[in-house]
Chain A
Amino acid sequence: MKKNKDKKQRGENNKLANFMAAAMAIPAVASSISQAQGPPEHSSIRLQYSDYQDYQSNQDRISIKSPMLWVDTAIAERTEFEGSIVLDSISGASPLYLDTVSGASGTGIDDNRKAANGLITQYFEDFSLGIGGVFSTEDDYKSRGLNIETSIWTPSKNTTFNFGISANRDDITSSNNAEIDESRTTLNFLAGISQILNSRSLIQTNFTYSGGNGYFSDPYKLNDNRPQSRDLGAILTQYILYFPAEDFSLHVDYRFTHDSWGLNSNMFEFSIYKPLAKKWLVRPSLRYYTQSNADFFQYSYPPRNLNQFYSADQRLASFGGLTTSFMVQRDLSQGFSVDFELGFIQQRSDFRPGGGSDNISPFYARFFTVGLTKTF
């Protein structure tokens, strides 16, 4: 009796097995049930041109023109490839750090930079693993890096944990001084969490730590002498809030950094993403930035003590900055979309609460980006 019952049970189990096996042999049905995170359904390719121009005291300084190609596609059922190639043309002099000494502003820079990066991500049931590389090369600077990253999500996918580790090696020379042949290595760590809070908002926080050893000085600046190590910690929090009745999203970002050179920075950014008339998207944005100077920053030349660290590089001074930008995107037919962004940067001592470094001239920059994206 028992034998017959077992046989019958096995027969019944076979019926369900047969049914489900036949259904699961249909690709779309099986895929719809597995419900896993995965590579993008559609491939994207983007062509972008960026143009940056900065100026101080009514003199043109750095100008950067960057065409870029970017691709994001599934290369296997659970594998994604993302990569980009950038060709920068850089020309001009670096920012003035003094008004009073002429001829010490460094020679003009005219350089071409080629950079490329790629990331391959493999998706599993509950997590993904990515390996990537980056390299960039210009006349006097070569950089190579390798990174490994992983994302782990909860079954509901409302919470995602992100971890990453990367290493970079930079080689620095100088077209002015053939004796300079230096390098530095940096190790970076990232740990972050992304959380969907409720039906209208999500928040994401990332902690990063970077430890670098080697040559950090700027070979084009006279007597620039920076420590042989730089440890940097940062926390970046991004909050997105959606307003359903008015149909727009507000993005609020805050980032705090602190490094072993004594430089702290705070950055607030507010952006609004607003769709218009079905095919348009506009994004006004405002960023406010403050920075406290590196311990060894000294605005004047010559350095007080040649045996100590010194830099008059304005980028290590205390100042505040305001960036305003506006982006507009339009969806076209056949999977194309075109976008344009225009932005202005202004950095001044008096933009910082409590004031910034004395004697640094206001710094201005404008940038625009035009891009074309195709989704297959």
Chain B
Amino acid sequence: MHLFNFNFKALGGLNNLQFYCDNSFNAENIKTKIIESVNEVEVKFSRYLTDSIVSKINLKAGQDEAIEVDQETSALIDYAEMCHEQSEGLFDITSGVLRKAWNFSRPELPSQQLIEELLANIGWDKVEWEKPFFRLKQKGMEIDFGGFGKEYAVDKATDLAQKLGIKHGLINFGGDVRAIGSHFDGKPWTIGIAHPRNKYSLATSFTINQGAIASSGDYERFIEIDGKRYCHILNPKTGWPVQDMQSVSVFSESCLVAGTAATIAMLFGEIKGKKFLKDLGLKSYRINYSGKTFRD
């Protein structure tokens, strides 16, 4: 058994795949199949590709025609709806249009008027979801799976890897990580948590021998104006970024659950986020606004 290590680009970033396999012939085969599965997720759910189910739905926003979705999409929409309820409306897949106000490439604050205009087209209450038919009731509305697409791709790739016979491996898609078993010799994988303020160092590290770690932070995309940071995690009710936490990392069996829980904890802020994660029984590592760390 040899540890094979592959890097590839997809889902808007860098991805890493490691697994133990008995020869390079099979390893190449497995790697190709996993990358294909990731590309399938991207093609199916990407906002940028016109053939995706997301684009098909967005194109019909404000029209009477509802789009019929398949079982996989339906289950993901149900999941997003549940996250919306559990987060008291803060996790909202219709909030993607706020990128028109916040693009983080210029250190300029958007106008409040633009934000108000965009907020008028945000809200799960403006969605018509009668399984399997989905419709955005207002023109100008959009749904976006970007908030959990990568985490879902990790779970899907894990499922495929296991079915292909991998018993020891590690998947990391843009920082969303999932372990398949331990290292071959039984030792767990060591996962570093990125430091939210110093990109060349780590905040801490954890060892896992199965399950997922996903992180959400204010350092992925942001602008800083007058010493104040405005990050890409936006409150869909106010249209403004959250400012309470530097980063949240969550552990769960599923990367999808870990990632969405981390995002919701960021959206809730320090006190409510802590309670939210505690109620779910999920372990986490959190760094608040002033850099103080919490582990449970």
A and B are partners in one complex rather than unrelated chains: yes
A177 within 8 A of B: no
CB <8 Å contact, A29 and B152: yes
B7 to chain A, nearest CB (A): 17
A281 with B25, Cβ < 8 A, contacts A15-B279, A38-B163, A198-B185 known: yes
Residues of B within 8 A of A199 (CB): 1, 20, 184-185
B49-57, B72-80, B222-230, B236-244: which lies at the interface: B72-80
CB <8 Å contact, A242 and B72: no
* Total cross-chain contacts (CB, 8 A): 101
Count A-side interface residues using an 8 Å CB cutoff: 38
B201 within 8 A of A: no
Instruction: Kindly report which residue of chain B lies nearest to residue A12, judged by CB atoms.
Output: B279
A33 within 8 A of B: yes
Instruction: Kindly report which residue of chain A lies nearest to residue B27, judged by CB atoms.
Output: A275
B162 within 8 A of A: yes
A157 within 8 A of B: yes
| Contacting residue for A19 out of B25, B155, B257, CB 8 A | B257
CB <8 Å contact, B75 and A41: no
Instruction: Kindly report which residue of chain B lies nearest to residue A199, judged by CB atoms.
Output: B184
A101 within 8 A of B: no
| Contacting residue for B76 out of A26, A41, A198, CB 8 A | A26
Instruction: Kindly report which residue of chain A lies nearest to residue B153, judged by CB atoms.
Output: A28
Cα A31 to Cα B281 in complex, Å, equals: 22
Cα A280 to Cα B158 in complex, Å, equals: 27
Q: A-side binding surface: helix, strand, loop or mixed?
A: mixed
Cα A248 to Cα B178 in complex, Å, equals: 29
CB under 8 Å from chain B, chain A span 348-367: none
Residues of A within 8 A of B163 (CB): 31, 38, 40-41
Cα A12 to Cα B276 in complex, Å, equals: 10
CB <8 Å contact, A15 and B280: yes
| Contacting residue for A32 out of B23, B78, B156, CB 8 A | B156
Residues of A within 8 A of B75 (CB): 25-27
A180 within 8 A of B: no
B82 within 8 A of A: yes
B211 to chain A, nearest CB (A): 9
A18 with B257, Cβ < 8 A, contacts A247-B23, A247-B24, A275-B23 known: no
A200 within 8 A of B: yes
B254 within 8 A of A: yes
A223 within 8 A of B: no
Cα A157 to Cα B166 in complex, Å, equals: 11
Cα A249 to Cα B24 in complex, Å, equals: 11
Instruction: Kindly report which residue of chain B lies nearest to residue A275, judged by CB atoms.
Output: B25
Q: Kindly supply a per-residue 1/0 record for chain B positions 51-89, scoring 1 wherever the CB is within 8 Å of any chain A CB and 0 otherwise.
A: 000000000000000000001100110110011011000
CB <8 Å contact, B24 and A278: yes
B105 within 8 A of A: no
B160 within 8 A of A: yes
CB <8 Å contact, A25 and B29: no
B43 to chain A, nearest CB (A): 16
Instruction: Kindly report which residue of chain B lies nearest to residue A11, judged by CB atoms.
Output: B279
CB <8 Å contact, B72 and A28: yes
Instruction: Kindly report which residue of chain A lies nearest to residue B282, judged by CB atoms.
Output: A16
B2 within 8 A of A: yes
Cα A174 to Cα B29 in complex, Å, equals: 50
Instruction: Kindly report which residue of chain A lies nearest to residue B81, judged by CB atoms.
Output: A22
CB <8 Å contact, B72 and A273: no
| Contacting residue for A275 out of B20, B24, B261, B280, CB 8 A | B24
CB <8 Å contact, B29 and A32: no
CB <8 Å contact, B28 and A278: yes
B202 within 8 A of A: no
Interface residues of chain B, those whose CB is within 8 Å of chain A, are: 1-2, 20, 22-25, 28-29, 71-72, 75-76, 78-79, 82-83, 85-86, 152, 155-156, 158-160, 162-164, 167, 178, 181, 184-185, 253-254, 256-257, 261, 279-281
The 5 closest A-B CB pairs, nearest first, are A41-B163, A32-B159, A275-B25, A22-B82, A199-B184
5 intermolecular pairs with C-beta atoms under 8 Å apart: A16-B279, A16-B280, A16-B281, A32-B155, A33-B253
